[in-house]
Amino acid sequence: MPERFPASLQQKIEDRLRYYEDLGIRLFYTDRGPGGTTIVAPEPIASVSSSAPIIEETVLPKPTTKPAPAKVAPVAPPPLVVHPTGPSLFETMGKVKDETLLNIREDLGDCTRCKLHKGRNKIVFGDGNPKAELVFVGEGPGADEDAQGLPFVGRAGKLLTQMIEAMGLQRKDVYICNVVKCRPPENRAPEPDEVTACSPFLIRQIDSIHPKVIVCLGATAAKTILNTTRGISQFRGEWLEWRGHKLMATYHPAYLLRNPPAKADVWKDLQKVMAELGLQLPKKSKS
Ligand code: SF4
């Protein structure tokens, strides 16, 4: 019988594996060097600066009233950097003009285009403003979303809502959707055939909304859309261009729930998005 790890060590290993999973790393291999066996992750992980300010859920800036459009944030937007490693999966897909989200939802129907339909309760098409300037794209529905048919409604969704409100917006101001619209079993990452079947609907949604900015939440969404094998830590927070839209990838709210210090990085990313959209930075409250 193999010897069990002490409970504390086992917990640490589980936490670390979840951390890797949030960065899109699901495969590990062993390096049998002369010094013994070492578990090696296939790509480097960015460290989080201990000096960065930590934004806790409780200290996220309070939502402000909708900012006046004339006042542009003092932070200059960073230069546009085209960074993906290769052509996007969707580069060859032409734009369909004058489609509405309703048309696209009707076309999706009671979809059975991939095997994910077998385990779903509800299709999670997307939610929000059909003319939003800002679109958030996640990986796929979880249990809460599958039950309600709405994206980002669980704990991670609550945190995303707080992040949106910290930007001075409300959920109804933005649009939120996922790469795949049915819940993968046991919350695994969507498989390539599932992404291939479902993602044309995501593209049509984005083309219909025509946002100024797209924010990819988490490694899977970012790597799928950009068709890159790079770890999200290598391009998180950078401006990219995708099908004529400015796109930024940042960490998934579920990852932030497990790693609160990373909220500081995400808040920096969202401030860049606010500057791009001409939103005012929240005023610091007087202590
Ligand atoms: S994930 Fe997308 S393509 Fe697959 S069954 Fe659901 S809606 Fe259809």
Q: What's the average pLDDT block by block, 10 residues per block, for the chain (287 residues)?
A: 65 62 48 42 36 37 50 49 45 67 97 97 98 97 97 96 96 97 94 94 95 95 87 93 93 96 96 94 60
Q: Report the pLDDT value the prediction gives residue 224, as an integer from 0 to 100.
A: 83
- Does ligand 1 lie within 6 Å of residue 181's CB atom? yes
With a 6 Å cutoff on the Cβ, whether 180 touches ligand 1 is yes
Q: Is the pTM of this model over 0.85?
A: no
**In the prediction, which pLDDT does 170 show?**
96
Supply the pLDDT for residue 52.
36
Best CA proximity match to 46, nearest among 25, 77, 15: 25
How far, in whole angstroms, is CA 118 from its chain's centroid?
25
CA of 198 to the centre of ligand 1 (A): 5
178: three-class secondary structure by DSSP: strand
Q: Is 245 in the pocket of ligand 1 (CB under 6 A)?
A: no
**Residue 206 C-alpha to ligand 1 middle, in angstroms?**
17
The answer to whether the CB of 150 falls within 8 A of the CB of 190 is no
Q: Which atom of ligand 1 is nearest to the CA of 197?
A: 3
CA distance 249 to 265: 11
Ligand 1 centre distance from Cα of residue 107 (Å): 12
- Provide the sign of the torsion angle of the four alpha carbons 229, 232, 233, 239, taken in this order: positive
Residue 147 confidence (pLDDT)? 97
Instruction: Tell me, in angstroms, the distance from the centre of ligand 1 to residue 207's CA.
Output: 19
Looking at the chain, how many residues does it have?
A: 287
Query: Tokens representing 48?
Result: 């989080």
Exposure string (b/e) for 178-205, b if CB count within 10 Å is 16 or more?
Answer: bbbbbbbeeeebbeeebbebbbbbbbbb
Please name the residue ranges forming H helices in 143-191. Answer: 143-148, 155-166
- At 158 the pLDDT is 96
Identify the pLDDT of residue 228: 86
pLDDT at 81: 45
Q: Which ligand 1 atom minimizes the distance to the CA of 190?
A: 1
Cβ–ligand 1 contact at 200 (below 6 Å): no
Over its C-alpha atoms, the chain yields an Rg (Å, rounded) of 20
CA 200 to chain centre: 18
The pLDDT value recorded for residue 226 is 87
Q: How wide is the angle at C-alpha 281 spanned by C-alphas 177 and 60, nearest 5°? A: 65
Give residue 11 CA to ligand 1 midpoint distance, Å. Answer: 35
pLDDT at 223: 87
- Cα distance between residue 59 and residue 285, in whole Å: 11
What are the b/e assignments for 119-136, b being 16+ CB within 10 Å?
Answer: ebeebbbbbbbeebbbbb
